[in-house]
Amino acid sequence: MKKLSDVKFSTLDLVPVRENGSAAQSLRNSLDLAQHAEKFGYTRFWVAEHHNMDGIASSATSVLLGYLAGGTSTIRVGSGGVMLPNHAPLVIAEQFGTLESLYPGRIDLGLGRAPGSDQMTARALRRERSGSADDFPEDVAELMRYLGPRTPEQRVIAMPGTGTNVPIWLLGSSLFSAQLAGERGLPYAFASHFAPRFMHEAIRIYRNHFKPSAVLDKPYVMLGVPLVAADTDEQADYLATSVYQRILALMRGQSLVQRPPVKTMDGLWLPHEREAVGDFLGLAMVGGPQKIRAKLEVLIEQTQADELIFTSDLYEHADRVRSYELLAQVMKG
């Protein structure tokens, strides 16, 4: 049985844009957070591809990863994830092959099969491409060929990219990618930071379908976890209201810019909305160090996860840094 100290811990940064803030400041904050995460002992720092969302500044994911990798020295940086249906596999192979060539041994390529946006934006991204989530297994296989060793009959190569063997992860919020990751023998990251309902079933399917590969000899599970750590439970509850407001805005189709915390959410949400936000954040770790440790120990006992990747979506950048600092202390025991 795993103990908390056996589990790797990482960061998923949503590069949040504040009310009255700017994308430029958010991007600079992301690098500062990556530098702190490196110092605190985090294994990796991932950012995710989102489009047409005014509160998230990580749309040009590979460009941002170059900035983050260039400003850090040891922490792994990667995508959590690139939404592969939006792109030709060759383009992603070239982008991540370039990153791996510049920052060898530090780049991860997490892949998702959702568009990371609405359908109208997906069409704007793809234009004449007919890519869809249905093509995902074939697209993953094509991408892996571009990043693997060049074969004698191979007529199209990724340069840079060929022979770099950038580590590929499959990401999912449903059960499809769990089975695919198992069958391909790839590491699997489940998006339990926003879809906790299917977490246990996805882990079971992945492990049951796992076939050893050149990449992995046994399953490797990473789980996404929302984090609001503070010095006291009361402070954490207060800071968490920014997260609640953002999820509420997402559900209502409103602006996703970060809003400052409030003393109470009463009057801001209806009872059914409060319940829906609670379901969305079912795995959230909110509290002081002692409370967070107790909840994490239960999570590890129940899932035997190999790694946890935390997202802390707080309004003040200093509070986010502190949240990750406290978590690192908890994880190290």
In this prediction, residue 288 carries a pLDDT of: 98
Q: Nearest Cα to 213, choosing from 169, 252, 275?
A: 169
Query: Rounded mean pLDDT of the chain?
Result: 94
Distance CA 205, CA 181 (A): 10
Say which CATH class 4-227+283-331 falls into.
alpha beta
pLDDT, one tens digit per residue, over 14-63 is 999 999 899 999 999 999 999 999 999 999 999 999 999 999 999 999 99
For residue 129, pLDDT over 60 is answered with: no
The pLDDT score that the predictor gives to residue 122 is: 67
pLDDT digits 0-9 by tens, 220-237: 999 999 999 999 999 999
pLDDT at 148 over 70: yes
Domain ranges of the chain: 4-227+283-331
- The pLDDT value recorded for residue 162 is 95
For 283-307, the pLDDT digits (tens) are: 999 999 999 999 999 999 999 999 9
Confidence at 195, pLDDT banded by 50, 70, 90: confident
Sort strands 76-83 and 285-287 into parallel, antiparallel or unpaired.
unpaired
Give this prediction's pTM: 0.94
State mean pLDDT over 76-105: 96
- 265 Cβ contact list (under 8 Å, min separation 6): 241, 244, 245, 274
Q: Can you tell me the mean pLDDT for 172-177?
A: 91
Residue the block writes with tokens 């094509």 = 142
